Chains A and B, each alone.
Chain A
Amino acid sequence: MDKELKVKILDLMIEARCMEERMVKMSKSTDGFFWLGGVGEEAFNVPLGLLAKKGHGLDYDYFHFHYRNGATMIALGMDPADELRQMHNRITDPFSGGRNFCNHYVRKDWNVVPVTSTIQTQCSVAPGTARAQKRHGGDGITIVTFGDAGTAEGDFHVGLNWSTLPKWELPLLWICTNNAYGISTPYNEVHGQEHIANIAAGYGIPTKVINGNDVEESYNALKEAMDYCRTERKPYYLEAMVSRLHGHSSSSGANRVPDGSEADPLHLWIDRLVKEGVIDGDYFEKKYTEHTEHMKDKLAEVRKEPAPTAADVFKHIYAEA
Chain B
Amino acid sequence: MATMAQAVRMALHYGETHLGVTDVFGEDVGPPLGGVFTATQGLKTAWNSPLDERGIIGTAIGLALAGQRPVAEIQFGDYIFNTIDLLKLAGNTCWSSMGQYNLPMVVTTIVGAGIHGSIYHSHSFESMAAHIPGWKIVLPSRPIDAYGLMISALKDNNPTLYMYPKALIRVKGKDLIPGEPADERELKKMIDAPPGPTLYDIIDVRSRWEPRWPEGLTDYQVPIGKARIHREGADISVITYARHVFMAEKAAEILKAENGIDVEIIDLRTLYPWDRETVFNSVRKTGRCLVLNEDTPVCNFGEHIFRTIVDECFYELTAKPRVLAGADVPGVGLHPAYEEASIPQVNDIVRELRGICGEAP
Contact = CB atoms under 8 A, between A and B. Distances in A.
B101 A158 contact: no
Interface in B19-66: 22, 50, 52, 54-55, 57-66
Interface string A99-125: 110000011100001101010010111
B66 A158 contact: no
Interface of A: 57-58, 62, 94-97, 99-100, 106-108, 113-114, 116, 118, 121, 123-133, 142, 154-155, 158-159, 161-162, 165, 315-321
Given A113-B101, A114-B93, A158-B54, A125 B61 contact: yes
A147 to B, nearest CB: 18
Nearest to A99: B96
Interface in B75-120: 85-86, 89, 93-102
B101 A132 contact: no
6 contacts: A99-B96, A114-B89, A114-B101, A124-B58, A127-B58, A315-B95
A57 B65 CA distance: 10
Interface in B252-292: none
Given A121-B86, A158-B54, A161-B55, A319 B62 contact: no
B98 A118 contact: no
A100 B97 CA distance: 9
B58 A158 contact: yes
Contacts of A159: 55, 58
B336 interface: no
Contacts of A114: 89, 93, 96-97, 101
B54 A57 contact: no
Given A118-B89, A121-B86, A131 B94 contact: no
Contacts of A126: 58, 62
Q: Pick the most buried of B55, B57, B133: most chain A CB atoms within 10 A of its CB.
A: B55
A125 B50 CA distance: 15
A125 B58 contact: yes
Nearest to A56: B67
Contacts of B134: 317-318
B99 A128 contact: no
Given A96-B97, A96-B98, A319-B102, A155 B66 contact: no
A320 to B, nearest CB: 8
Interface residues of B, number: 36
Contact of A321 (B60, B63, B94, B157): B157
Nearest to B88: A118
B73 to A, nearest CB: 15
Nearest to B105: A128
Contact of A107 (B63, B100, B136): B100
Contacts of B85: 118, 121
A123 B70 CA distance: 18
A124 B86 contact: yes
Contact of B95 (A127, A155, A316, A320): A316
A165 B58 CA distance: 15
Contact of B50 (A96, A106, A131, A161): A161
A58 B98 contact: no
A7 to B, nearest CB: 34
B347 to A, nearest CB: 41
Contacts of A165: 50
B64 to A, nearest CB: 7
Contacts of B318: none
A165 B50 CA distance: 9
Nearest to B47: A168
Contacts of A62: 65-66
Contact of B63 (A95, A131, A155): A131
A88 to B, nearest CB: 16
Contacts of A133: 66
A121 B62 contact: no
Contacts of A124: 54-55, 57-59, 61, 86
A215 B136 CA distance: 47
Q: Pick the most buried of A126, A155, A159, A319: most chain B CB atoms within 10 A of its CB.
A: A319
A162 B158 CA distance: 24
Given A95-B98, A132-B68, 14 more contacts: A106-B98, A113-B62, A114-B96, A121-B85, A126-B58, A128-B59, A128-B60, A128-B63, A132-B62, A132-B63, A162-B52, A316-B94, A316-B95, A318-B134
Nearest to B48: A165
Nearest to B104: A319
A113 B65 contact: yes
B107 to A, nearest CB: 13
B54 A155 contact: yes
Given A58-B66, A319-B157, A127 B94 contact: no
Contacts of A116: 89
Given A108-B100, A114-B93, A121 B58 contact: yes
B66 A132 contact: yes
A132 B67 contact: yes
A128 B100 contact: no
Q: Pick the most buried of A97, A107, A316, A318: most chain B CB atoms within 10 A of its CB.
A: A318
A95 B97 contact: yes
B132 to A, nearest CB: 12
A114 B55 CA distance: 18
A127 B99 contact: no
Q: Pick the most buried of A62, A126, A129: most chain B CB atoms within 10 A of its CB.
A: A129
A17 B96 CA distance: 26
Contact of A129 (B63, B133, B136): B63
B62 A130 contact: yes
Contact of B158 (A154, A161, A318): A318
Contacts of B55: 124, 127, 158-159, 161-162
A73 to B, nearest CB: 15
Contacts of A128: 58-66, 68, 70
Nearest to A312: B98
Contacts of B102: 318-319
